[in-house]
Amino acid sequence: MTITTVSNEQLAKEYVDGVFEQLKQQNSHQAEFLQAAEEIFISLVPVFVQHPEYIKANILSRIIEPDRIISFRVAWQDDNNQVQVNRGYRVQYSNVMGPYKGGLRFHPSVNESIIKFLGFEQIFKNALTGQPIGGGKGGSNFDPKGKSNSEIMRFCQAFMTELYRHIGPDVDVPAGDIGVGAREVGYLWGQYKRLTHASESGVLTGKTPGYGGSLARKEATGYGTVYFVNEMLKDANDSFEGKTVVVSGSGNVSTYAIEKAQAYGAKVVACSDSSGYVYDPDGLDLEAIKEIKEVKGDRISTYVNYRPDATYTEGCTGIWTIPCDIALPCATQNEINGESARTLISNGVKAIGEGANMPSDLEAINEFLDAGVLFGPAKAANAGGVAVSALEMAQDSSRVFWSFEKVDAKLHQIMKDIYADSKAAAEKYGYPGNLVVGANIAGFVKVADGMLAEGVY
């Protein structure tokens, strides 16, 4: 018996290592993609020990290779009539669980590695929501900063002029991510309608409520992250009440994480953008942040004009030196490294909730886990956004729209379920309390079983 167990473990480890080695050789220049894959692969060894049938079907080599990667030229005219060219992407990763589903990111850093890391993680995140959605991601290296409204519109129209032929309400359903919100989704949706002559509102999510969008989609990722962290805290007989919280970023996810954390009685003392961070020891004024970011589209540095006691510091990583009980990284990938993690820990942090995708690098994750910090990994903690996107698809299909309260209640339940499923998987596979392993396994097993059911193709 012991001999069998040992050999199963060896087999599982050799299998995972072998697939990862090949992946490294084939994608040696794609650092973010390899990082996301490594984190998941390590977590899956205990699954392959218990499920040799997944090895036999070579599930890992199949799931790591996207169904297809579409890369295309986006040519558009700026306000000076100059022709600009950007690169567009859509990675259709897996439709085992439903139509490809995932956001579009417009940011100068976008490349194939970033879109693949996001698309790969999206498969498991989406499976965790319990909704019928597969995994995908897309975007462009277009930089929306400093562009006029008309330039944004022309870019979105040019982007959709190629993308439309690859998507559809039952095929692939994009949404927002960094640099893409309801305004951009509106322009993309308008162009899709013009090109297809069909009013298939379920082809995109994150639309404006009243024009096919779901109430509470805008709030969903930030609220969901706080709901998830609240579940972790409850399990440790704790809560947000009276806690000091630091949130990075000041975009869509950050704004609504701040809103819900404050509603739960926390004092949120800092937030940031890619230039620097603000610290307001009496607690952030959310209305000021909404006016700066949502109304004026301005920099977070201007916050000190609203609150004279607040301070602004250039640079992003310094935000993690502010002592806090709970940290919610909600800006971008790799914003917390090992050093920042150690600083947070030595300042007494109790819980981390990843609102952004892959905000903590592998060293940081290990520091948090080793120190016994409650750690809500991105795939689980920020799944509320895509979960409400799936609820938007359901409303679009039925032509019936739900109240804010109804959507929010469903979101809350989904986040509780994701927490319970991740916790249970961690226990079942021998890593109690490790939600990184738990979330990766809970998501993976659903997709792997779907792949077994479909057969090899």
- Active site residue ranges: 137
Are 380 and 418 in contact, with CB atoms under 8 Å apart?
Answer: yes
Q: Which of residues 185-224 bind ligand NDP (CB under 6 A)?
A: 221
Tell me how far, at minimum, the Cβ of 357 lies from ligand 2IT, in Å.
Answer: 5
Whether 358 and 125 have beta carbons less than 8 Å apart is answered as no
Site string for ligand 2IT, 361-400 (x = CB under 6 A): ------------------------xx--x-----------
List the end-to-end C-alpha distance of the chain, in Å, as a whole number. Answer: 35
How far apart are alpha carbons 192 and 5 in whole angstroms? 54
- Cα dihedral 17→23→24→25 (10° resolution): 110
Q: 86 touches which of ligand NDP, ligand 2IT, none (CB within 5 to 8 A by kind)?
A: none
Q: Within 27-87, where are the H helices?
A: 31-50, 52-56, 59-63
**Interface residues for ligand 2IT in 118-137 (CB under 6 A)?**
125
* Amino acid residing at 223: Y
If DSSP codes are grouped into helix, strand and coil, which group holds residue 253?
helix
Q: Which residues in the 245-264 window bind ligand NDP by CB under 6 A?
A: 249-254
State the binding partner of 136 from ligand NDP, ligand 2IT, none, CB within 5 to 8 A by kind. Answer: none
Nearest to 330 by CA among 306, 303, 309, 354: 354
Contact 360, 352 (CB under 8 A): yes
Q: Residue 370: how many CB atoms within 10 A of its CB?
A: 10
Residue 154 touching ligand 2IT (CB under 6 A): no
The reply to whether 102 sits near ligand NDP by the rule CB under 6 A is no
**Pick from 126, 201, 332, 434: which binds ligand NDP (CB under 6 A)?**
332
Identify whether the C-beta of residue 190 lies closer than 8 Å to the C-beta of residue 199. no
Stretch that binds ligand NDP, among 187-195, 330-338, 344-352, 404-412 (CB under 6 A): 330-338
When CB distances to ligand NDP are compared, the closest residue is: 251
Task: Using the minimum distance from each CB to ligand NDP, give the nearer residue, 43 or 255.
Answer: 255
User: Contacts with ligand 2IT in 187-206 (CB under 6 A)?
Assistant: 205
**Residue numbers of the site for ligand 2IT (CB under 6 A)?**
101-103, 125, 175, 177, 205, 357, 385-386, 389
Residues in the site for ligand NDP, rule: CB under 6 A?
176-179, 221, 249-254, 273-275, 316, 330-332, 355-357, 382, 385
